[in-house]
Protein backbone atom coordinates (compact mmCIF):
# COMPACT_ATOMS: atom_id res chain seq x y z
CA UNK A 1 0.00 0.00 0.00
CA UNK A 2 1.40 3.41 -0.96
CA UNK A 3 1.88 6.23 1.54
CA UNK A 4 -1.01 8.08 -0.13
CA UNK A 5 -3.28 5.07 0.34
CA UNK A 6 -2.20 4.79 4.00
CA UNK A 7 -2.95 8.47 4.58
CA UNK A 8 -6.36 8.21 2.91
CA UNK A 9 -7.14 5.08 4.94
CA UNK A 10 -6.24 6.99 8.13
CA UNK A 11 -8.38 9.97 7.17
CA UNK A 12 -11.38 7.78 6.43
CA UNK A 13 -10.91 5.91 9.70
CA UNK A 14 -11.09 9.17 11.66
CA UNK A 15 -14.10 10.27 9.61
CA UNK A 16 -15.74 6.92 10.39
CA UNK A 17 -15.34 7.71 14.11
CA UNK A 18 -16.79 11.19 13.57
CA UNK A 19 -19.82 9.67 11.84
CA UNK A 20 -20.47 7.24 14.71
CA UNK A 21 -22.36 8.75 17.66
CA UNK A 22 -22.22 5.48 19.62
CA UNK A 23 -18.43 5.39 19.34
CA UNK A 24 -18.23 9.01 20.49
CA UNK A 25 -20.39 8.35 23.52
CA UNK A 26 -18.29 5.29 24.47
CA UNK A 27 -14.96 7.01 23.78
CA UNK A 28 -15.53 10.65 24.62
CA UNK A 29 -18.07 10.43 27.45
CA UNK A 30 -17.72 6.95 28.98
CA UNK A 31 -13.94 6.58 28.36
CA UNK A 32 -14.40 3.00 27.16
CA UNK A 33 -12.00 3.26 24.21
CA UNK A 34 -8.26 3.96 24.13
CA UNK A 35 -7.12 6.92 26.29
CA UNK A 36 -6.50 9.18 23.28
CA UNK A 37 -10.02 8.87 21.88
CA UNK A 38 -11.52 12.33 22.25
CA UNK A 39 -12.71 15.21 20.05
CA UNK A 40 -9.49 17.22 20.16
CA UNK A 41 -7.41 14.20 19.17
CA UNK A 42 -9.69 13.50 16.21
CA UNK A 43 -9.19 17.09 15.02
CA UNK A 44 -5.43 16.79 15.53
CA UNK A 45 -5.34 13.60 13.49
CA UNK A 46 -7.28 15.05 10.55
CA UNK A 47 -5.78 18.52 10.43
CA UNK A 48 -2.22 17.85 11.58
CA UNK A 49 -1.24 14.17 11.36
CA UNK A 50 -2.98 13.46 8.06
CA UNK A 51 -2.82 17.07 6.77
CA UNK A 52 -6.29 16.90 5.26
CA UNK A 53 -6.02 20.35 3.66
CA UNK A 54 -2.88 19.25 1.78
CA UNK A 55 -4.59 16.05 0.69
CA UNK A 56 -7.46 18.13 -0.70
CA UNK A 57 -5.03 20.44 -2.49
CA UNK A 58 -3.36 17.41 -4.10
CA UNK A 59 -6.30 15.03 -4.24
CA UNK A 60 -5.38 13.48 -7.60
CA UNK A 61 -2.19 12.06 -6.00
CA UNK A 62 -4.44 10.16 -3.60
CA UNK A 63 -6.63 8.73 -6.38
CA UNK A 64 -9.57 10.81 -5.13
CA UNK A 65 -12.15 11.63 -7.80
CA UNK A 66 -13.54 15.12 -8.37
CA UNK A 67 -16.88 14.08 -6.83
CA UNK A 68 -15.22 12.53 -3.79
CA UNK A 69 -13.08 15.63 -3.37
CA UNK A 70 -16.15 17.88 -3.43
CA UNK A 71 -17.85 15.91 -0.64
CA UNK A 72 -14.64 15.67 1.38
CA UNK A 73 -13.88 19.38 0.95
CA UNK A 74 -17.36 20.42 2.13
CA UNK A 75 -16.96 18.19 5.19
CA UNK A 76 -13.49 19.61 5.84
CA UNK A 77 -14.66 23.23 5.61
CA UNK A 78 -17.60 22.68 7.99
CA UNK A 79 -15.51 20.69 10.46
CA UNK A 80 -12.67 23.22 10.34
CA UNK A 81 -15.04 26.10 11.10
CA UNK A 82 -16.77 24.13 13.85
CA UNK A 83 -13.53 23.07 15.52
CA UNK A 84 -12.20 26.64 15.36
CA UNK A 85 -15.31 27.80 17.22
CA UNK A 86 -15.20 25.00 19.80
CA UNK A 87 -11.49 24.69 20.49
CA UNK A 88 -9.36 27.40 21.99
CA UNK A 89 -5.77 27.19 23.15
CA UNK A 90 -5.45 24.79 26.11
CA UNK A 91 -9.20 24.37 26.47
CA UNK A 92 -10.98 21.07 26.01
CA UNK A 93 -14.44 20.56 24.59
CA UNK A 94 -17.16 19.13 26.82
CA UNK A 95 -18.11 15.92 24.99
CA UNK A 96 -21.66 15.84 26.37
CA UNK A 97 -22.24 19.38 25.11
CA UNK A 98 -20.72 18.50 21.76
CA UNK A 99 -22.89 15.40 21.30
CA UNK A 100 -26.02 17.42 22.12
CA UNK A 101 -25.15 20.14 19.58
CA UNK A 102 -27.37 20.00 16.44
CA UNK A 103 -24.47 21.38 14.40
CA UNK A 104 -22.34 18.41 15.46
CA UNK A 105 -25.14 16.10 14.38
CA UNK A 106 -24.98 17.70 10.91
CA UNK A 107 -21.21 17.15 10.80
CA UNK A 108 -21.77 13.50 11.73
CA UNK A 109 -24.19 13.18 8.81
CA UNK A 110 -21.68 14.84 6.49
CA UNK A 111 -19.04 12.37 7.67
CA UNK A 112 -21.42 9.58 6.68
CA UNK A 113 -21.76 11.14 3.23
CA UNK A 114 -17.98 11.16 2.86
CA UNK A 115 -17.86 7.47 3.75
CA UNK A 116 -20.55 6.75 1.15
CA UNK A 117 -18.66 8.73 -1.50
CA UNK A 118 -15.57 6.60 -0.85
CA UNK A 119 -17.57 3.37 -0.49
CA UNK A 120 -15.90 3.00 2.91
CA UNK A 121 -17.34 0.38 5.26
CA UNK A 122 -16.22 -1.21 8.52
CA UNK A 123 -12.66 0.06 8.62
CA UNK A 124 -11.73 -0.74 5.05
CA UNK A 125 -11.95 0.75 1.59
CA UNK A 126 -14.15 -1.39 -0.64
CA UNK A 127 -12.90 -1.51 -4.20
The pLDDT, as a whole number, for residue 122 is 63
Domain of 42?
3-125
Exposure b/e, 41-63, CB count within 10 A at least 16 = b: bbbbbbeeebebeebbeebeebe
Instruction: Summarize pLDDT for 32-56 with one digit per residue, the tens.
Output: 766 667 888 899 999 999 999 999 9
Number of domains in the chain: 1
Instruction: Summarize pLDDT for 76-116 with one digit per residue, the tens.
Output: 999 999 998 887 765 678 889 999 999 999 999 999 999 99
Q: What is the DSSP letter of 83?
A: H
Distance between CA atoms of residues 58 and 112, nearest Å: 22
Q: Could you give phi then psi for residue 63, rounded to 5 degrees?
A: 55, 40
Stated pTM of the model: 0.89
The dihedral over CA atoms of 114, 88, 33, 108, expressed in degrees to the nearest 10, equals -20
Distance between CA atoms of residues 126 and 56, nearest Å: 21
Amino acid sequence: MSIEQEILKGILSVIENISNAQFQRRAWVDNQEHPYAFFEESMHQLFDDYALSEVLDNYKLYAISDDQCSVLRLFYECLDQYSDEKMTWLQTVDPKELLADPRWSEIQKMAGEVLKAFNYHKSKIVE
